Structures are given as structure tokens and as C-alpha cells.
Amino acid sequence: MSQQISFRLLWLSLIAISLIFAVLLDAFGQATPLQRLELAGRDFLMRLRGVRPLQTDIVIVAIDDFSLHWTGYDWPWPRAYLAQIIRELNRAKPRLIGIDIFLFEADEDKGDLLLAQALEEAQATVGVLQIFQDESSQSRTLKQPLSLYRSQFDRLGLTGIYTDADAIVRSVQPFDRFDEQVYYHWAFEMASLLLEQSPPQLSKQGLHFNGQQVPLAAGRLLINYAGPPGYYPTYPAADVADGLIDPHVFQDKIVLIGATSLTLHDVYPTPYAPSRPMAGVEIVANVLNMVLEGEYLHLLPPWMTLLLIVLLAILANRIGRMQHIWFAIGAWLGTGLAYLLMSFLLFLTVRWYLPLIAPLTMLFLGAGGQFIERSVSQEREKQRIRTLFSRFLSPEMVEQLLRNRDWNALNKRAELTILFSDIRGFTTLSETMSPEALVHLLNQYLEAMTSVIHRHGGTVDKYEGDAIIAFFGEPVIYPDHACRAVQAALEMQRELARLNQGWQEAGVLRRHLEIGIGIHSGEVFVGLIGSKQRISYTVIGDNVNLASRIQEETKRFGWPILLSESVVKQLNEQFECEDLGEQFLRGRNTPIRLYKLLGCAGASPEESPLPLSSSSD
């Protein structure tokens, strides 16, 4: 037992330490297989939730493959053509125009002034900037639109996105610093204009916007996607420039202009559809929608993840120690499903991501390892019990015992029927035979009698020379154990007659062997008794001794099978018995009523036991 406990503690400790180490690596931004699985788990929750109804009127003007082919312009497009798009949108009076196009260099066709004039006429505009990191020199450069554009844009913001280890975009860069100046993502800048709020504020307590603390995960802003690619209304830029789109489509809307063409390489896999890339401008639409609604995603801090791992480790240990394997498996699977359901409900209602992989791995490996260990241990124990009980029971009864009983609860007090049998005149017989012949004859006799006892569901306790001690009713429980013992006694007599005939025909014996059988029912202790080197499944108690004394009385009465009153009361008139009255037995101060067993009720005289011809041992 102590070895099992040590194994469980070692197993749980190894799993817990491995998971805690992986969680800590994730917290420091190190990509691990656990992190990849955890990210996939979050994506699963988002897809399971489904699309969210759009609360914000956001539309996209797409620089798509159709528009690129229709205009015939190479990218980047002339600024004059971009100005034409802005002027068409201004006719519809949108609330805000966000332009996801870099305007860092002057236009070769001298169209910058036209675009700047179109931006000036718009109700509100937001542009983008970049803080560029040169990996070779470790220098940083701030890239902004040309000065004439900066004077026309109401706000400017960052466009940075993050791709995780599996190349999927789940977060954006909420802010960055350059020369002591903090710059925020342009979704925040657009939201501050639309909500008429001050820009985000960064402090030691975190990032705050619109009266909320913005939750960040390792400095990243997780994206609460509203739906898969194409979920936001999208219109080709060429159709807008040509005036083919009804202006009412853009009236009082938030219009984002950006590239959606695969050839411009501004598309990324997202949780909803990893195989269908989403344009960067639509990713921004999702971020803007999330910021305007204030429905941010939250992650548990690492210490809470570690606490969950420890709690599920304790739960896994409790489940692994359940005695009933099917209850344990049910609790194991039920706990895992309950955790998944709780995770989904928390995500659905308050947008909290519970860690999935590490705690569930702790639960399933922790309990599963114990199930495997227990199965191996139980199989080993079964083999030990099978080997042990095969000496006492028939193979069929051993298998029945292993299927239906808890062999750990074999030691107990029980009401049983004990059968003692002894060969009459065996000492005299042994003096007339060689040791080899005597052993051969005795082995044949014991083999035959043991088979009879097994057929009737009895357990052979032990052999004491020529004597057989057996009991009925354990370890396989039979309510009719007294009847089974009496039936076995009668068949032992018939089997002995068959053996006698064979021995006489072979010239082994000059006279028949005879046996005396005593049967008594009563409460005894039954169980495994012995040491590690030698153990027996046996019965002990006063009633066992009483059965032995009854067997001795077969000599005095010259009758092969004697029963106690406690046996006869259980026979239900199935057998015929003769009352011998109360008798004092050797070593006992109180008398006991004995009965001769005459045979089965209604049996012919030939089927009844014959009197013993000799009462000597």
C-alpha cells in the first residue's frame, strides 16, 4: 500500500512540476507545446460561442483584387485616386474615416495636396504610424505620415499586430513608446473620437480607457473577434471611387479603408478560420468594435493558473483513490466536462479565459496514471488470488470470485457449513502398502473427493493426511450452503464406491475403503491467514472443531455421514435423516443433537449410505 501511495505522489508531483514549469515559460513569453495547445483551446471556445451581433456600424472599403485589376494601377495607388475615394465617402457624411494606408512618402504624381484637401473636408479622420525596429542595429525609427497629412488627420495610431507561435493573430499592440512619447493603437484613437473621450492613459496600474481598465496579457491586447472573415460589410474601393455604391450605405457609419488583396500581403489567419486569412483592416474593425463596446477578453494571471493546477491535482488524487473503478471513471470524465462547461460559460458571460490544457492535463494524467497503476496492481492481485484460490476452488469458481467479489474484504465472520471427512482404517492400510503405492492411492482419492467438493461449490480448506476439511458458503456465497455440503457428502460416498471398484479390479486393495463424514453449520472466522512466505484461506473457530468431533462420532455409530441439528434445520425436507438424540462429544460439556443422513428424500435404498463395517482408524 505504501508503494502505491509513493507511486501516486511521485506521478502527480512529476506532472504538476512539468505543467507549472510550462506555465511559467508561457508567462515569460516562451513558446511551448503547452502554449500552442492552450491557444487552440481558446480558439475552440471562440468558435463554440459563435458570431456576436454587431453593435457598431463599421463598414470596410476594400482595396481588393477586383479594384486593383479594375483601376490598372500598381500599388501604391496614386494619391489623387485615393482622394477621389475620400470625396465620394464625404458625400455620404460618415461619422469617421480610418485609413489603413502608409502615407510616409511623397506621391510621385503630385497628388498629396488633393488627398490632404479631401481629408480636410471629412468629418473625422484617423491615420496610422509605425515604430520600426531595425534588428541589425537595434535602432528604432518613428514613421509618420507626411506633415500635410498630419495636420489633417484628427488622430494617428499604431497598426502593430502580433502573430502567435502558430502564426495566428489573436492580439494587437495596444501601445508603444518612442522618445518618451506613448503612442496607442489606432483603434483606441478612433474610439476616443467616436466616444468623445480622452485618449487612453497609461499608468503604473495599467492601461485605462473610457472608465475601464483595459486587460492586457503580457503587454498584448487580446482581440474579441465578432465573427469570421467577411463578417463586416465590405465594398470594393473601385466601386466607391466610381460612385456605384449608394451613399446611404456609408451615412453616419465608421468607414475603414484598407487592403484585402492577398497580393498585398496584409492578410492573416485568425481563430475563427485559420485557413481563411482575414485582412488587417478587418482585424482592426474587430478591435475597434471591441473597444467601443468595452467587451475585452481576460486571462487568468499565472498564479491563478498554478492554483488551478494544484486544485485539480488534489481532485485527481481523490478520484484516483475511489474504490469503484466505474464511479472513478465517471467522476474523472464528469469533472473534465464540468470544467470545460464552466470555462465556456465564463467565456460566454464575462469573457474570461480559464486555462484549459494545463489543468485538464493535470486532471486526466493525474487520475489516469493512477487508474493505470491501479489496473496493473489489481491485475497482479487477481493473479495472486487466482493462484492462491486455485488450490481450494474449481477454476470456474475462482473466476466467479474474481468477477463478483472484493477480494480485499475476504477476512470476516460468516455463517458456513463445514465438512470433515476421514478414511476409516487408514493407519492399518498404510502398514500393508508400500509408501509409493500408498501415496498414489491417496492422491487418486484426494483428487476425486476434491472434484466432488468443487462441483458443489465447496472450498477445500486443507488435507491432513487422509482427512479432508472443506467448507461451503465462502468465498463464493451460496444461501443453500448446508444443502450443497450434504449433496457433496452423498456424492463423495458414490465416488468412493467407484474408486473401490477400480482398485479391487486392479488388485490394489483387498477390501473397500470407507470414509466417515461429519457436517456442521455455524458462525466461523474465514479469511487469509499466514505470512508472506506461506498463506492459506481457511476457517477457524469453535464450530470448526465441532464439525471435526461430529466426524469422529461416525466411528461410534458406525454410520458414514452424521449431521448436526443446525444442518438439518436448513435442509427443508430435501433429505431423510434419523434423529440420534443429544450426544456428548469429546471435549465438550454440553450435548449436541446428531442425525444420521439416510439419503435424498424419496431415494431408493441402493442410493442411501451404507453402514461402516469398521469403526477403527
Q: How much is the pLDDT for 4?
A: 46
Q: How big is the CA angle at 494 (ends 491 and 496), to the nearest 5 degrees?
A: 110
Residues 102 and 104: their CA atoms lie apart, in Å, by 6
Q: How much is the pLDDT for 5?
A: 45
- The per-residue pLDDT for range 34-71, each reduced to its tens digit, is 778 888 999 999 999 999 988 789 999 999 999 999 99
Reported confidence tier of residue 1, pLDDT bands at 50, 70, 90? very low
| Neighbour tally for 95: CB within 10 Å | 16
For residue 421, the cross-strand partners are 468, 517
> 254-259 and 58-63 as β-strands: parallel, antiparallel, unpaired?
parallel
Q: What is the mean pLDDT of residues 78-91?
A: 96
How far is CA 85 from its chain centroid? 58
Q: What is the mean pLDDT of residues 299-311?
A: 81
Which residue, among 283, 298, 51, 262, has the nearest Cα to 163 in the 3D structure? 283
* The three-state (H, E, C) secondary structure of 184-243, written as one string: EEHHHHHHHHHCCCCCCEEECCEEEECCEEECCECCEEECCCCCCCCCCCEEEHHHHHCC
| Neighbour tally for 446: CB within 10 Å | 15
Reported confidence tier of residue 89, pLDDT bands at 50, 70, 90? very high
Grid coordinates representing 428?
492399518
Of residues 509 and 45, the one with the higher pLDDT is: 45
- DSSP, collapsed to helix, strand or coil, labels residue 246 as coil
Beta carbons of 442 and 466 less than 8 angstroms apart: yes
Q: What is the mean pLDDT of residues 535-560?
A: 92
- The per-residue pLDDT for range 311-329, each reduced to its tens digit, is 887 887 777 777 777 787 8
Instruction: Look up residue 58 and give its amino acid.
Output: I
Q: How much is the pLDDT for 318?
A: 79
- DSSP, collapsed to helix, strand or coil, labels residue 108 as coil
CATH of 394-607, one of 3.30.465.10, 3.40.720.10, 3.30.70.1230, 3.40.47.10: 3.30.70.1230
Q: How much is the pLDDT for 324?
A: 76
- The per-residue pLDDT for range 596-614, each reduced to its tens digit, is 999 998 777 766 777 877 5
Burial class (CB in 10 A: 0-12, 13-18, 19+), 615: middle
- DSSP, collapsed to helix, strand or coil, labels residue 55 as coil
Q: What is the mean pLDDT of residues 70-99?
A: 95
Reported confidence tier of residue 3, pLDDT bands at 50, 70, 90? very low
Ranges of each domain in the chain: 2-18+301-386, 53-296, 394-607
What are the C-alpha distances in Å from 353 to residues 63, 216, 271, 463?
35, 13, 14, 69
Range name among 158-162, 499-503, 511-515 with the lowest pLDDT average? 511-515
- The per-residue pLDDT for range 549-592, each reduced to its tens digit, is 999 999 999 999 999 999 999 998 889 999 999 999 988 889 99
- The per-residue pLDDT for range 106-139, each reduced to its tens digit, is 998 889 999 999 999 999 999 999 998 876 767 8
Beta carbons of 221 and 172 less than 8 angstroms apart: yes
